[in-house]
Amino acid sequence: MPPLASCITLRRRHEYWHDSLLYLGAYWQAMQAGGAPTVWPQTLNPNPSTGWLPANLPNGIPTNAQAQTMLNSLPTIANPPTPANDGYNSGAPFGTWPGPRNGWTTRNTVLVAQALTTEQGAPADATVGSGNVVIGGTWQQPYDTTAGFPTTPVQTECTAPNQACVSGLPADHFVPTANAWITGADTWPDYSTAITVTQGGQTVNTTQGGQMLYDFSNDLSGPELLIVGNSTNSSKGFNGPQNWMPPNKGMYCAYAKMWIAVKWQWDLAVVTAPVGTVIFPNQTTGLSEQGALQYLLTNYC
């Protein structure tokens, strides 16, 4: 029998995709009747009141109503330990990037999916070299802004062949693996039933819990992996939205809903203890992770 956390994750994925199929059905009926786009749920405002919204964010971003329902249902934790005090060892529990699956690594899959196309104004589509390694393309940096031009998208152009340029773009674990670890993933290794699976084209002996950690680290089903800029990714660390938010305020709504979606999909807890740092406007005290997410949904979505 699969572990409880796996059952919860599968149930939640089913509920989310069930809702998506309902929207798709409504969209198809409207399209047949000559209506269409107004029926499809607009999960993000393409023209935020401040900052800028990246063009190619990952799939799986919920609507406002879905995000609120997800947030309300998340488990909570008052004050988790630091990753180091909880046995986390620099990402080791989650493993490294795997080898190719169907000829593609996780990172190269994400790079191609989030690269700008010529139709979006890029000088060229993403260029893929030998072994399905991405060696060129143009990527927006969702967290970043340019001083004096807060609504102008920030992007990096790597003219092919320039694998070194592409390699300099981090694939951010949106909910950092260290954050996932201290809010629930540290219990996954307790699911110790031995299994044999294929990871990156190789047969691996692992456990149910070990496979869950691996799957989280390579999750392409939702908004967990995002191509970003180096400096802001480094400053983010393992912090939640109560402690760190990107300089680009146009990402605030997307950030909250992506964070909620990942935590909900993987049944991870949100922290209820407030922090001492004030990072949001019109706030006199710090917020908890739960409070910060609610603040973002209410004020930016």
Are 22 and 53 within one domain?
Answer: no
Q: Which of 65, 78, 80, 48 is nearest to 291 (CA)?
A: 78
The pLDDT value recorded for residue 96 is: 78
What digits encode the pLDDT tens for the residues 64-92? Answer: 999 999 999 999 999 999 999 999 988 88
Q: What is the pLDDT of residues 205-236, one digit of tens each?
A: 999 999 999 999 999 999 999 999 998 999 99
Q: Which long-range contacts (CB under 8 A, 24 or more apart) does 277-285 make?
A: 277/242, 277/243, 279/242, 279/243, 279/244, 279/245, 280/245
Instruction: Classify strands 270-271 and 76-77 as parallel, antiparallel or unpaired.
Output: parallel
- Written as six digits, the tokens of 35 are 């209506």
Q: Is 155 exposed, middle or buried (0-12, 13-18, 19+ CB in 10 A)?
A: middle
Assess whether 173 and 27 both reside in one domain: no
Same domain, 123 and 96: yes
pLDDT at 199: 81
Q: Do 267 and 118 sit in the same domain of this protein?
A: yes
Count of the separate structural domains present in the chain: 2
**What is the percent of the chain with per-residue pLDDT over 70, rounded to a whole number?**
86
Same domain, 11 and 75: no
Residues 172 and 91 in one domain: yes
Bridge partners for 205 per DSSP = 196
pLDDT number for residue 28 = 46
In this structure, are 103 and 119 located in the same domain?
A: yes
At 12 the pLDDT is: 54
pLDDT for position 92: 87
pLDDT band per the 50, 70, 90 thresholds, residue 204: confident
Instruction: Show the domain range for 12.
Output: 1-41
In whole numbers, what is the pLDDT of the chain averaged over residues?
88
* pLDDT value, residue 279: 93
Same domain for 148 and 20, yes or no, is no
Same domain as 34, residue 168:
no
The torsion angle over the Cα atoms of residues 96, 102, 104 and 105, rounded to 10 degrees, is: -10
Do β-strands 225-227 and 127-128 pair in parallel, antiparallel, or remain unpaired? unpaired
36 and 49 both lie in a single domain: no
Judge if 28 and 138 occupy the same domain. Answer: no
3-class DSSP state of 62: coil
- Are 176 and 187 found together in one domain? yes
